[in-house]
């Protein structure tokens, strides 16, 4: 089934002559015709209609609510009504707002049920910067519409017939001389047998779908069965089937490595020749998300970032980032067969992947304007999609456009530590965000408190445990390798006893990951981690050597030792105390420096430490005798 908007007029007849009003872009002011016939008599209060018809709503005109209404009757419009979701009040939006993208409080689910992440739910993340809808954003959208000649064509068609105006991407965009035709990609049935498809799809539904639940599993499985049984009845393209099986093959312990390149290439060719060259559909967006997930597991960061950015541009083209839209540039997508919940899940998963990939790769994420999509609902006990998106909402403060204050990052780390997760993959992402928060905090303040260091170490150790579990189960999630390697780097950068004491835990976890997957990239990561530890050890040894230099003495005369001194015993002091020892004076060969009770360095530390009667409080707090024993002439 091809649900893409075609190049036809879709019922638009340019020969139909109707009375036309001036073209205006989203203007809220009344027209001259309304002033003449639509205004109430002077002194009489105007009664507001409960709902405006669709032509009046699109033109921002006052509607009397009748059917047909006065405006449609006057201008010969086709008067009809449609249901639209009610806008929430500003008070509700303010209560749910999130300061600087970080969750300020917790709310209960709409149905009153408890969340699987600790019984509470994080509020909806507030769009950042240009994502945040408002008066300025609405002005920008109107300006974008006014810039677009394609949008003008659609506005013209809507003025003529609001129910069947022309679509975008048509009408004189160019000469239309292209001879491009969609290449014939090999059908998925030539690559996989039906039983192989079932096996790979089962691996996908078991391992990936609980975390990224943006596909209707029941409906999709039915369509995949039809692709082999009754191809003409199948309503999904081959590229989304290829995407599901390619990601599922990553969890097959190498059993499908021989045919995996053909599956990946088939999806890539189909996507680049369809959604990248023609107006996309929701299925195209979902297939691109599958490609991003597969690339994140296997390929270079640049390829992942490009694919995730392309996905977000397709999201904007389809319009699933908005609950409803009257914009000319972003008309509601013709995807009524899909439930709003599915569209929300698709948008938020795509946005989460693009944001995190951009953060990790150090690139700019795709920020859409006017996001009004609601957060998806909570699923059953095996569905962690909403919990994953809630974790993403905490990470919005990592946007480089935000402020960089010490207190902000400390609060961010506290919220991450308090966020309870029940899935090891989400635990890995939580640990990765904690490490990212440390890097941002270190940028604002290189000196960390012991409480913050302990918090980072605790979350990192839980992430290491999750990585070892995933490696033992042969689950090739990207953070299985990334978290142990980054933990080693962060612990070395902290350079405190608490972090250095746990480097061996991270090293053992990375070694286990290398043992289970044994790839060239992982071996190189392990080699690099060991090299960094050796460099740190060498630096410590050099620092120890520098300190040792301060203890090396030139000769015995400058640092008199007991065995080098000729000591003379003084008579007893008459009190029974020990006698003082002084060097024998008057000898022509004996020029040793007198030694006082306070100048000897060779204390018997073992005797002191083992003496329970030794007064440590007095030792640590008493005034130094040397500072109180100077005579007026400077002598002792």
> To the nearest whole number, what is the mean pLDDT of the chain?
75
The confidence score (pLDDT) of residue 72 equals: 83
More confident residue, 420 or 95: 420
493 or 85, which is more confident?
493
Take residue 566 and report the two structure tokens written for it.
Answer: 């000729």
Q: Is the pLDDT of residue 573 over 50?
A: no
Query: How far is it, in rounded angstroms, from Cα 329 to Cα 463?
Result: 44
pLDDT greater at residue 19 or residue 576: 576
- pLDDT band per the 50, 70, 90 thresholds, residue 59: confident
- Cα 209 to chain centroid distance, Å, stands at 19
Phi first, then psi, for residue 232 (nearest 5°) are -65, -25
| CA pair distance 435, 460, nearest whole angstrom | 8
Place of tokens 């600087």: 100
Question: Rounded mean pLDDT of 513-534?
Answer: 93
Cis peptide leading into residue 68 (ω within 30°): yes
Residues 488, 532: contact at Cβ < 8 Å?
yes
Top mean-pLDDT range of 54-68, 259-273, 591-605: 259-273
Residue 225 has pLDDT above 90, yes or no: yes
pLDDT digits 0-9 by tens, 411-424 = 999 999 999 999 99
Measured between alpha carbons, how far is 512 from 481 in angstroms, rounded to an integer?
Answer: 10
Integer Cα distance of 503 and 484 in angstroms = 10
User: Model confidence at 599, in pLDDT bands (50, 70, 90)?
Assistant: very low
Per the DSSP assignment, residues forming a β-bridge with 583 are: 567
Per-residue pLDDT band for 295 (boundaries 50, 70, 90) equals: very high
Q: 149 exposed, middle or buried (CB, 10 Å; 0-12, 13-18, 19+)?
A: exposed
- Summarised one tens digit per residue, pLDDT across range 614-631 is 555 554 455 544 444 444
C-beta atoms surrounding 120 within 10 Å: 16
Question: Structure tokens of 495?
Answer: 């350079």
Taking the alpha carbons of 588, 592, 594, 595 in that order, is the dihedral positive or negative? negative
Q: Kindly state the greatest CA–CA separation across the chain.
A: 131
CA distance 519 to 516: 9
Q: What is the pLDDT of residue 287?
A: 96
Dump pLDDT digits (tens) for 384-410.
999 999 999 988 888 887 777 778 888
Higher pLDDT, residue 396 or 347: 347
Report the alpha-carbon distance of residue 274 to residue 182 in Å, rounded: 7
In this prediction, residue 258 has a pLDDT band, given cuts at 50, 70 and 90, of very high
Residues in the chain: 636
Radius of gyration of the chain (CA): 36
Residue 188 has pLDDT above 80, yes or no: yes
* Closest of 320, 326, 323 to residue 28, by C-alpha: 326
Q: How far, in whole angstroms, is CA 621 from its chain's centroid?
A: 51
Q: Whole-angstrom Cα distance, residue 67 to residue 53?
A: 8
Whether the CB-CB separation of 428 and 479 falls below 8 Å is answered with yes
For residues 114-132, give the mean pLDDT.
44
Judge contact between 428 and 483, C-beta under 8 A.
yes
- Tell me how far apart the alpha carbons of residues 434 and 144 are, in angstroms, rounded to a whole number: 39
How does DSSP classify residue 38?
T
**How open is the CA angle 14-17-21, to the nearest 5 degrees?**
100
CA distance 242 to 265: 9
What per-residue confidence (pLDDT) applies to 632? Answer: 46
8 A C-beta contact, residue 566 and residue 590: yes
Give the pLDDT mean for 538-555. Answer: 84
3-class SS shares of the chain: helix, strand, coil, % to 5: 50, 0, 45
User: Which of 299, 293, 301, 307 has its CA nearest to residue 519?
Assistant: 299
Residue among 409, 414, 482 nearest 446 (CA): 409
* DSSP conformational letter for 513: H
Buried b (16+ CB within 10 A) or exposed e, 411-423: bbbebbbebebeb
The SS3 call for residue 407 is: helix
Residue 195 in this model has a pLDDT that exceeds 50: yes
In 397-448, where does DSSP find H-type helix?
Answer: 406-418, 424-444
Q: Is 196 helix (H, G, I), strand (E, B) or coil?
A: helix
Can you tell me the distance from the alpha carbon of 300 to that of 306, in angstroms, rounded to the nearest whole number?
A: 10
Q: How far apart are the C-alpha atoms of 529 and 507, rounded to whole Å?
A: 8
Helix segments in 319-368, DSSP class H:
340-361
3-state secondary structure (DSSP) of residue 568: strand
According to the model, what pLDDT value does residue 444 have?
Answer: 84
% of the chain with per-residue pLDDT over 70: 61
Give Cα separations from 398 to 17, 374, 439 (angstroms): 55, 21, 10
Written in H, E and C, the secondary structure of 204-255 is HHHHCCCCCCCCCHHHHHHHHHHHHHCHHHCCCCHHHHHHHHHHHHCCCCCC
Residue with tokens 């009504």: 81
Give 582's DSSP letter. Answer: E
Given a cut of 80, whether residue 348 has pLDDT beyond it is yes
Residue 335 tokens, joined: 């995807």
107 pLDDT higher than 90? no
At 558, the pLDDT band (50, 70, 90 cuts) reads low
Lowest mean pLDDT among 174-183, 396-405, 584-593: 584-593
Q: What does the pLDDT read at residue 2?
A: 44
Over residues 268-286, mean pLDDT = 85
Give me the long-range contacts of 297-303 (CB less than 8 A, separation at least 24): 297/247, 297/250, 297/476, 297/477, 297/478, 298/250, 301/357, 301/360, 301/361, 302/361
Question: How many Å apart are CA 54 and CA 74, to the nearest integer?
Answer: 15
Indicate if the pLDDT at residue 135 is higher than 70: no
Query: Which pLDDT does position 483 carry in this prediction?
Result: 94
Determine the 3-state secondary structure of 564 from DSSP: helix
Least-confidence region, from 113-127, 150-164, 165-179:
113-127
Distances (CA, A) of 224 to 1, 245, 256, 432, 508: 14, 11, 19, 36, 42
Predicted confidence at residue 63, as pLDDT, reads: 87
pLDDT at 179: 66
pLDDT at 277 over 80: no
């Amino acid at each position: 089934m091809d649900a893409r908007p075609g190049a036809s007029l879709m019922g638009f007849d340019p020969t139909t002559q109707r009375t036309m009003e001036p073209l205006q872009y989203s203007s809220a002011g009344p027209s001259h015709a309304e002033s003449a016939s639509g205004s109430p008599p002077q002194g009489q209060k105007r009664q507001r209609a409960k709902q405006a018809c669709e032509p009046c709503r699109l033109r921002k005109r006052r509607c009397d609510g009748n059917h047909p209404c006065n405006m449609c009757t006057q201008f010969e419009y086709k008067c009809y009504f449609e249901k639209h979701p009610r806008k929430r009040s500003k008070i509700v939006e303010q209560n749910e707002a999130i300061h600087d993208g970080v969750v300020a409080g917790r709310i209960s689910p709409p149905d009153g049920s408890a969340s699987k992440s600790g019984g509470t739910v994080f509020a909806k993340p507030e769009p950042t910067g240009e994502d945040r809808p408002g008066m300025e954003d609405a002005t920008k959208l109107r300006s974008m519409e006014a810039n677009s000649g394609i949008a003008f064509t659609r506005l013209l068609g809507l003025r003529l017939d609001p129910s069947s105006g022309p679509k975008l991407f048509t009408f004189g965009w160019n000469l239309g001389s292209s001879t491009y035709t969609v290449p014939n990609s090999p059908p998925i049935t030539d690559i996989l047998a039906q039983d192989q498809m079932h096996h790979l799809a089962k691996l996908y539904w078991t391992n990936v779908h609980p975390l990224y639940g943006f596909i209707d599993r029941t409906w999709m499985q039915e369509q995949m069965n039809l692709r082999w049984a009754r191809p003409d009845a199948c309503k999904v393209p081959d590229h989304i089937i290829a995407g599901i099986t390619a990601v599922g093959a990553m969890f097959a312990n190498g059993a499908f490595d021989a045919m995996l390149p053909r599956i990946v290439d088939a999806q890539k060719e189909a996507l680049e020749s369809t959604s990248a060259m023609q107006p996309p559909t929701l299925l195209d967006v979902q297939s691109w998300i599958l490609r991003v997930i597969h690339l994140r597991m296997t390929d270079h960061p640049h390829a992942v970032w490009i694919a995730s950015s392309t996905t977000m541009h397709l999201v904007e083209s389809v319009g699933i980032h908005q609950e409803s839209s009257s914009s000319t540039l972003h008309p509601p997508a013709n995807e009524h067969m899909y439930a709003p919940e599915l569209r929300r899940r698709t948008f938020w998963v795509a946005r989460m992947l693009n944001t995190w990939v951009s953060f990790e790769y150090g690139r700019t994420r795709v920020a859409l304007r006017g996001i009004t999509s609601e957060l998806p609902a909570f699923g059953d006990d095996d569905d962690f999609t909403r919990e994953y998106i809630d974790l993403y909402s905490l990470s919005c403060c990592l946007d480089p456009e935000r402020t960089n204050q010490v207190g902000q990052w400390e609060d961010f780390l506290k919220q991450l530590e308090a966020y309870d997760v029940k899935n090891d993959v989400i635990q890995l992402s939580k640990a990765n965000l904690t490490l990212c928060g440390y890097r941002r905090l270190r940028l604002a303040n290189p000196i960390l408190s012991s409480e913050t260091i302990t918090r980072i170490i605790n979350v990192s150790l839980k992430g290491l445990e999750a990585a070892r579990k995933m490696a033992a189960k042969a689950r090739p999630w990207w953070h299985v390798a990334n978290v142990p390697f980054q933990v080693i780097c962060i612990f070395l950068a902290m350079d405190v006893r608490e972090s250095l004491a746990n480097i061996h835990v991270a090293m053992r976890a990375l070694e286990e990951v290398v043992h289970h997957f044994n790839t060239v990239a992982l071996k190189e990561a392990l080699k690099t981690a060991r090299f960094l530890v050796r460099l740190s050890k060498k630096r410590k040894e050099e620092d120890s050597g520098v300190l040792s230099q301060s203890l090396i003495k030139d000769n015995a005369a400058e640092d008199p030792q007991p065995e080098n001194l000729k000591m003379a015993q003084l008579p007893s002091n008459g009190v029974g105390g020990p006698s003082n020892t002084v060097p024998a004076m008057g000898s022509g060969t004996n020029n040793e420096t007198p030694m006082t009770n306070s100048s000897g360095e060779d204390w018997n530390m073992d005797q002191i430490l083992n003496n329970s009667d030794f007064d440590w409080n007095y030792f640590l707090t008493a005034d130094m005798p040397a500072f109180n024993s100077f005579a007026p002439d400077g002598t002792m």
